[in-house]
Amino acid sequence: MRKFIVAGNWKMNTTVPEGELLANEIQTKIWHYDRDKFQLIVAPPYTHLATVGQILDSDRVKLGAQNLFWEEKGAYTGEVSAAMLKSIDVEYVIIGHSERRKYFNESDEILLKKVQIALNYNLTPIFCIGEQLEQREANEHFDVIKSQLENVILRLSAEQLSKVIIAYEPVWAIGTGKVATPEQAQEIHHFIRQLISEKFSSNLANDLTILYGGSCKPNNVAGLFEKPDIDGGLIGGASLKADDFLEIFKILIDKKS
């Protein structure tokens, strides 16, 4: 039941023509794989979604957005709604990335609304959590993770939660080249599953996909993907190179087959 996933978060990188080239390269090089068990996703900027979606064969590479707004529609200049994303065949949406929490002051309250609107429109949220460096150094990482889950994910119904992907991304590992050790990540992933199991059920916890994110590269993911509670990766920098991105996916398939 649990699905193993590699998702690429392009962030605010590439022009539209550059993004088309990248998508074409991914599409040309991606192979047939067991789609019941594995999934490859790319999340380009809003401006690229429609064209990148046309380039990618959704049987093999799914389309994700990096954000959405929590209202249905209306006078919210500059925002993009769930219905808009849905209308161009977006299937996933990253919510609560640490960069959005930091630069756009996205609070847990806002994130809960975003997760709910996404679910209402059958978009699968990739919900990000993670502690900052000072919090880990002060040994507060478990408390931070717990409160980030309690304020959003644990407020959903079991049925809603079963449709969410969680991404553990320690903030100190994002874009820094400083990847969490497999043991550090496994410990948190296990903790997340335990909290969900306590609140809901062990079946639900076991079926959930929990990704690790933060400086994943082809040369460091094998140890992470070997861990029983790490079900794949949310990839930033390395998703901008088709070969690296696909190599990471290949390693995931190898480790989880």
Among 99, 106, 131, 169, which one carries the catalytic annotation?
Answer: 169
Per CB under 6 A, which of residues 9..48 are in contact with ligand PGA?
9
Q: Which stretch binds ligand PGA (CB under 6 A): 139-147, 169-177, 190-198, 219-227?
A: 169-177
The one-letter amino acid at 160: Q
Q: Which of 237, 245, 251, 252 binds ligand PGA (CB under 6 A)?
A: 237
Q: Which stretch binds ligand PGA (CB under 6 A): 14-22, 110-118, 186-194, 213-221?
A: 213-221
- Determine whether 79 is an active site residue: no
Q: Does 215 bind ligand PGA (CB under 6 A)?
A: yes
From residue 88 to residue 127, the character string flagging contacts with ligand PGA as x (rule: CB under 6 A) and all else as - is: ----------------------------------------
- List Cα–Cα distances, 97 to 89, 129, 213, 246, in angstroms: 22, 7, 10, 22
Which is nearer to ligand PGA, 81 or 225 (by Cβ)?
Answer: 225
Tokens (6 digits) for 126: 């990739």
DSSP annotation string for 39-73: EEEEE--GGGHHHHHHHS-TTTEEEEES---SSSS
Q: Which of 45, 96, 213, 232 binds ligand PGA (CB under 6 A)?
A: 213
Q: Which of 106, 108, 131, 169 binds ligand PGA (CB under 6 A)?
A: 169
For residue 234, the SS3 value is: strand
- Determine whether 189 is an active site residue: no
Contact in structure between 7 and 211 (CB atoms under 8 Å): yes
The 10 Å Cβ neighbour count of residue 42 is: 28
Contact in structure between 72 and 40 (CB atoms under 8 Å): no
Please compute, for residue 49, the number of CA atoms within 13 A of its CA located in the half-sphere on the CB side. Answer: 24
Which is nearer to ligand PGA, 174 or 195 (by Cβ)?
Answer: 174
**Residues marked as catalytic:** 97, 169
Where do contacts with ligand PGA occur on this chain (CB under 6 A)? Answer: 9, 169, 174-175, 213-216, 234-238
